[in-house]
Structure 1
Amino acid sequence: MFNYTGTVIPIIFAVWAMSHIHKIVNRFIPEVLKTVVTPTLTLFISGFLALSVIGPIGIHLGNGLAWLVQGLFGISPILAGVVVGAIRPLAVFTGMHHAMTPIALQNFATQGYDMLMPMMCMANFSIVGATFAVYYKVNTPKEKSIIVSAAVSGLLGITEPALFGVLAKYKKAFLAAIIASSVASAFISFFGVRLYGYVLSSIFSIPAYFGPYFIYAISGMIIAVALSFTICYLFLSKVDVARANEPTQLK
């Protein structure tokens, strides 16, 4: 009934629940049996709850996000651009972005075009811009190599390396990507930028925008990259980078 491919929210909730279940189980198991019985019971109980309760809740949260986005388009495409652009990086970070794909496919089937996927593209370019800005703030060749690889991957349409490998470490960089994504998405929504076929949101999807909206789509991509790069470069200091890379002390 449910497909958990690419989802993260059900996993996060399941592991959070498991941490509490482990404490409860461990409290009632004799010391001599804890090594074997505690993890076994914890896994059994957590697995049952994950499949029967926690997982479906996570899926419905994603579907709720899709319903909300569809409602925003009914109110105002510009408002939808601001909201979708702001939540898209967060949605990718949590795996909830997969809930937006069925909306786009439905739009292609019923309207012949879609305005949601161009916003996804703006979010990807915003993530790339912020990632490139971090490149100029780090010092070690290893970090620079990771950032370049993640940024190039983002240009090709895969933003997870940039999100999890770079922006997750630097809050200001992540915030810069969110702001730029929101602004760029609102910009293209204002001019009605749309797609007439399903394509991956990458630099190779540019030809799909050929037509009356091409200039606005390209302008939106430039805004996304330039704005996220500028905000991140101005507000992310080398002190922030140094703090983010400090080893965590376990107490």
Structure 2
Amino acid sequence: MKNIIIIGSSGGNLFNLGGANPKKLLDEILLQSEAAGLCLKNIQFIAADESMDTAKASTNTNIYSYKEDSIVNYFQGNLKEANQQATLLDQQLAEAIRNDAIDGIIAMSVDALGANKQTIAAAIEKKIPVVGTGGTSMATITSMGANVISSSGTTGSTNRTRAISFVSSLCKYWHIKFNPVIGSPNKKESTAQGSIWKNINIRGIMVSSLPGFIAMALILAISQIPALKGLSAVFDLMINALPVMLAVIAAKQVSDLDEVSIIAGVIAGILSTSGGIIGGIIAGIMAGVLVHFFFKKCIEWRFPITTVNIVSGGLAGLIAGLIVYYLIGPIALQAGNLIKEVIEQTVAFSPILAGIIAGLLIWPAILGGVYHAAILPIVLLEMEKTGNSFLGAVDMVGLVMVAAGINLANILSPRDRGESAVATPGFLINMGFGTFVESAYPFMFSNKIVFGGALLSAGIGGALVGLFNVRGTAYVPSFTAPFLSNNISGFIIAMVVPLICAFLITLIANKVSVKNSKQAIESKREVAAGKAE
């Protein structure tokens, strides 16, 4: 196992590219080092509260070090005091290097003539490899004779790309196999093990993009006000921006290389607008995969990290976007239109029947895990065209309002006092945010009548959606939902009726349950009294 240290500061340009959050910057390097089997022995990182380009002697500054396998705050004071304290750590690191306890150095915006003077001198004596960023500082230590095996400026880099570049260069120098970590640090998934493909999750992309669709629905509703008709142009603009939003989310989730993947997603999304949201998703996924591929290759070829980001982010987004623009876009758009057309034709054939079926199936769908995988994407496809959705309206009346009715009954007339405390927050979220239908699960699973009442109420709500030809959405405050629909009065009726229905059925079920419990208790008492006699 090779032992390494991290030295440097939050820097000038680095401050704007991760140095302002030193703990996150250092955690990323630690994560990648552990993945490579490198042992971090110590840290001397001087983090000022502003860029070193403008920092003064009085600027508040922290020094981060490494103790007992964790990053710790070694000192806090002003910059002048921090530089004085840093010399103590500098001396310790230099001694460790001269005692052959350190094999490599990661340097970021170091002060080779000040706070890092002794460490750099020791590194030059021992000829240990040095990697790092900071154009001026790295040029200085190179000219002093340090064994710099990889250096770059900080422009265009991120915490993750810098960390991977540092560790990759050291591992290549030592002939150590290194699989960069992507995704959540807790998962520690390796890109070299094919996990990049495991990051492709259509459901995750759709759920993450939901706020954008809700924002579009809000603009649509506001634009219906006579004095704000001009916002209809904003609505059209947002529809065209949906593929870009989805492409960015897809690229970020697939590659998880921070700003690099975001840039790739933006470029790919802009070129895929003609393909609708399906085209945007495809372009984003392709961009995410290509970002990973180009990033890995550029690191292997020892490109400077700035160039790595430019090539992997820009080229990946461009290639993915052009493929969708010229080849996949028209097909993706037709596929999306076909799905919407099938829904429209089904509803047109028998709106009430379609509503009843959708209402009856929506609870089994969410309980079976099908909702987010199948229904939500269809809702978003509908909203892409009109800003609201038939299934979105069924969602609100069949899930949210039914759950609210069940919770309300358990607040006013619970089977026991504990259930009221459970139901209250659920009801408030149902009504206030148009979500958290899972709050009704405990009551549905514990009573077959309540479960059956939920299905019946949802079916009635779906029928009313079909009867009034409502298009709407959930995930918004319930009192605002009608104003985001195409039929305000019809949606109000369709929401209120299933809520009342679910409330009454649950109320009756609770009273029957309480009555049966009392009778059971009385029977036990009579039996006990008979035995006593």
Residues 160/110 of structure 1: CA separation in 2 closer, same or farther (3 Å cut): closer
Q: How many residues align?
A: 179
Asked if the contact 1:78–1:189 (Cα under 8 Å) also holds between the matched residues in 2, the reply is yes
Structure number having the greater strand percentage: 2
1:137 and 2:414 correspond:
yes
Which structure carries more relative contact order (alpha carbon 8 Å, separation 6+)? 1
2:380 to 98, 101, 105: 105
Match for residue 439 of structure 2 among 141, 162, 176: 162
Deviation, structure 1 residue 206: 2.2
Kindly indicate whether the alpha-carbon contact (under 8 Å) linking 2:449 and 2:509 is maintained by their aligned counterparts in 1.
Answer: yes
1:181 aligns with 2:458: yes
Matched, 1:84 2:358: yes
Check 1:86–1:132 CA distance in 2 against 1; reply closer, same or farther (3 A cut). same
Distance 1:181 1:199, change over 3 A: closer
Q: Does structure 1 conserve the Cα–Cα contact (< 8 Å) formed by 2:356 and 2:459?
A: yes
Q: State whether structure 2 residue 449 is matched by structure 1 residue 172.
A: yes
Which of 202, 205, 208 is residue 483 of structure 2 equivalent to? 208
Contact 1:130 1:229 in 2 (8 A): yes
- Alignment partner of 1:147 is 2:345: no
User: What is the deviation of 1:202?
Assistant: 4.1
Letter in 1 for 2:415: V
Amino acid at match of 1:119: V
Measure, in 2, the Cα distance between the counterparts of 1:163 and 1:92. 12
Which amino acid is the alignment partner of residue 368 of structure 2?
A: T
* Distance in 1 of aligned mates of 2:366 and 2:395: 10
- Counterpart in the other structure of 2:71: none
Q: Distance in 1 between matches of 2:440 and 2:497?
A: 19
- Larger-gyration structure (1/2): 2
Deviations 1:130-150 (A, max 9, x none): 22223313222x321011122
Residue in 2 that maps onto 1:15: none
* Deviation for aligned residue 1:193: 1.0
CA deviation after TM superposition for structure 1 residue 173, in Å? 1.2
Contact residue 131 and residue 147 of structure 1 kept, 8 A: yes
The answer on whether the counterparts of 1:117 and 1:201 sit within 8 Å (CA) in structure 2 is: no
CA contact (8 A) 1:72 1:79 kept: no
Q: Is the partner of 2:446 in helix, strand or coil?
A: coil
Aligned to 2:508: 234
**SS of alignment partner, residue 200 of structure 1:** coil
Moved over 6 A (4+): none
Q: 1:117 is paired with a residue of what secondary structure?
A: helix
SS of the residue 1:87 aligns to: helix
Q: Does 1:118 align with 2:316?
A: no
Q: 1:187 to 1:161 in 2, by over 3 A?
A: closer
Shift, 1:3, TM fit: 2.6
| 8 A Cα contact 1:167 1:174, kept in partner | yes
Specify the SS of the correspondent of 1:121: helix
Counting only pairs closer than 5 Å after superposition, residues 33-48 of structure 1 correspond to structure 2 as none
Task: Tell me the TM-score normalized by structure 1.
Answer: 0.60
Q: Secondary structure at the match of 1:203?
A: coil
Answer whether contact 2:410 2:419 (CA < 8 A) is retained.
Answer: no
Partner of 1:10: none
Distance 2:377 2:202 in 1: 15
Q: Please list the CA deviations of residues 38-62 of structure 1 after superposition, one character each: whole Å capped at 9, or x if unmatched.
A: xxxxxxxxxxxxxxxxxxxxxxxxx
Cα deviations across residues 176-220 of structure 1 (Å, max 9, x unaligned)? 12111111211121111113xx65154154253366x11111111
Q: Which has the higher helix share?
A: 1
Q: Which moved more, 1:72-81 or 1:174-183?
A: 72-81
Q: CA deviation at 1:241?
A: 8.5
Contact 1:170 1:241 in 2 (8 A): no
SS of equivalent to 1:177: helix
Relative to structure 1, is the Cα distance of residues 240 and 168 closer, same or farther in structure 2, using a 3 angstrom cutoff? farther
The superposition leaves residues 64-96 of structure 1 with CA deviations (integer Å, 9 ceiling, x where unpaired) of xx99x9484364221111011111122222221
For structure 1, which runs of at least 5 residues remain unmatched after alignment?
A: 7-65, 244-251
Residues 115 and 161 from structure 1, CA distance in 2 versus in 1: closer, same or farther, beyond 3 angstroms?
closer
Over 3 Å counting, the alpha-carbon distance change for 1:147 and 1:108 in structure 2 is closer
User: For 2:371 and 2:466, how far apart are their aligned partners in 1?
Assistant: 19
Instruction: Classify 1:194/1:210 alpha carbon distance in 2 versus 1 (closer, same or farther; 3 Å).
Output: closer
Conservation of the 8 A alpha-carbon contact between 2:461 and 2:497: yes
Q: How big is the alpha-carbon RMSD for the aligned residues of Structure 1 and Structure 2?
A: 3.1
